[in-house]
Amino acid sequence: MRAYERFLKYVTIATPSDDSSNTVPTSACQFDLANVLVDELCALGLDARVDDKCYVYAILPATAGYESATKIGFIAHMDTSPDFNGVGVKPCIIQNYDGGNVKLGASDRALTVAAFPHLPSLAGRTLITTDGTTLLGADDKAGVAEIITLLERLIESGEPHGQISVCFTPDEEVGSGADHFDIAAFDAEFAYTVDGGAEGEVEFENFNACGAKFEINGFNIHPGSAKDTMINAQLLAMEINSMLPAGQTPRDTDGYDGFYHLCSMSGSVEKAELYYIVRDHSDEIFEQRKRTLSKIEAEMNRRWGEETVKLTVKEQYRNMREKILPCYHLIDNALDATREQGIEPHVCPVRGGTDGARLSYMGLPCPNLGTGGYAFHGPYEHITVEGMDIVVNILHGIVKRYAAR
């Protein structure tokens, strides 16, 4: 079975995680996909299981005589982003795509070359898109499908290999995919997350990340007698945002540039709240960004009175670069396997995070590989059948290289 065939099935199983939930996993629907994956892995002859936290584990034992080969793992996540509708996904398939604009189903949305300049490079392929009303789920059901297709290929071919561990995680999209990852049960020396963009991406640098919440206490009084008395929490929220450095939002930045991203705001005259995510590849600049937030809190309380503004900063993940560099064979083998497919690898910093960022700090060095997908987390998400095939070939090439070590 080809990877896209599995993928088309997986995306119809709704698995959005829920960033407002305190349960593990954050949404029970993730078990729906987990159970399907366990059944598929068992049908391949693997001893697979899903635990009570919704982590799917399976191990393909080493071929006889290859037990001493490096134990390699592959990881992908089952949940989809809660930021856009992930329920009722109806993928649309365009064979022999012409590289031009594509109307998305009956919606008023379209994939356009103006917005997505890479589209002409996909001409001649089979393109999979949304119908414009949901996300697609290539992030990261494409990675799941590619890993299982790799396992099937290895099992059916009888090709020798070392031990291969796989895990499919819940809740990556809400930052907790590694919270309950059982490294001992996973039993690998090194791993790759398959959770990136275009095929051929190889990533071992990611943002340092935190979430920052400003809680603002106002003072409400009748506006007719509010002179020098009312404190409008909503206006203070606007003031706080204006105090952040200009030109440092996601729209204004790329590459190694960090940012402050206002994710949500709510409130009334009496109370308001701002929630940001803060990102930077540089440890030093990341700490400076957090200090900037603290200075804003202090200045607002100086102006408007103590306890008017409360800042809470929650660390999310760190740049995995320092954990990957001592294991650079992970990158060299991924680059070689990519070039073997006739593709020049694209080594780039992740402008986000993966489960692998945290796992690398938990003792499992874990860079990230592309899935073949584009424009994640929204209705413009798309992927190609051929791109997914190439990713399976790249994973296969990595396995061969570690079997030969």
What domains, with CATH codes, occur in the chain? 3-206+319-403 (3.40.630.10), 208-316 (3.30.70.360)
Predicted pLDDT of residue 175: 84
Whether omega before 25 lies within 30 degrees of 0, making that bond cis, reads yes
Give the mean model confidence (pLDDT) for residues 290-309.
Answer: 98
Predicted structure pTM score: 0.88
What mean pLDDT comes out for the span 193-206? 95
Beta carbons within 8 Å of 300's beta carbon, 6+ residues apart? 216, 236, 239, 240, 308, 309
Distance of CA 360 to the CA centre of its chain: 15
- Residue 5 scores a pLDDT above 90: yes
Residue 277's pLDDT band (boundaries 50, 70, 90)? very high
Q: Which one, of 376, 384, 391, 392, lies nearest residue 80 by Cα?
A: 376
- Whether 152 sits among the annotated catalytic residues: the reply is no
User: What's residue 405's pLDDT?
Assistant: 63
Can you tell me the distance from the alpha carbon of 148 to that of 138, in angstroms, rounded to the nearest whole number?
A: 15
Is 203 a residue whose pLDDT tops 80?
yes
CA distance 41 to 35: 10
CA pair distance 79, 356, nearest whole angstrom: 15
- Residue 219, pLDDT > 70, answer yes
Pick the catalytic residue from 140, 172, 173, 381.
172
pLDDT band at 350 (very low <50, low <70, confident <90, very high): confident
Q: Give residue 58's pLDDT.
A: 98
- DSSP run (H or E) holding 10: helix 3-10
Q: Which residues, other chains included, contact 67 with Cβ-Cβ below 8 Å and sequence gap of 6+? A: 162, 163
66-118 confidence digits (pLDDT tens): 999 999 999 999 999 999 999 999 999 999 999 999 999 999 999 999 999 99
User: Which amino acid is it at 349?
Assistant: P
Which pair of structure tokens corresponds to residue 131? Answer: 């119908």
pLDDT at 262 exceeding the cut of 70: yes
CA-CA-CA-CA torsion sign (129, 357, 205, 330)? negative
pLDDT of 243 above 80: yes
- What percent of the chain is predicted at pLDDT more than 70? 100
Catalytic residue list contains 381:
no
pLDDT of residue 265: 97
CA triplet 103, 33, 373: central angle to 5 degrees?
40
Tell the residue number behind the tokens 């998305």, with chain if given.
104
Residue 351 has pLDDT above 90, yes or no: no
Confidence (pLDDT) at 362: 96
Question: For residue 234, what pLDDT band results from cuts at 50, 70 and 90?
Answer: very high
Single out the catalytic residue among 18, 40, 79, 280.
79
Position 397 pLDDT exceeds 80: yes
Question: For all residues of the chain together, what is the average pLDDT?
Answer: 96
- 361-373 average pLDDT score: 97
- Per-residue model confidence (pLDDT) at position 360: 96
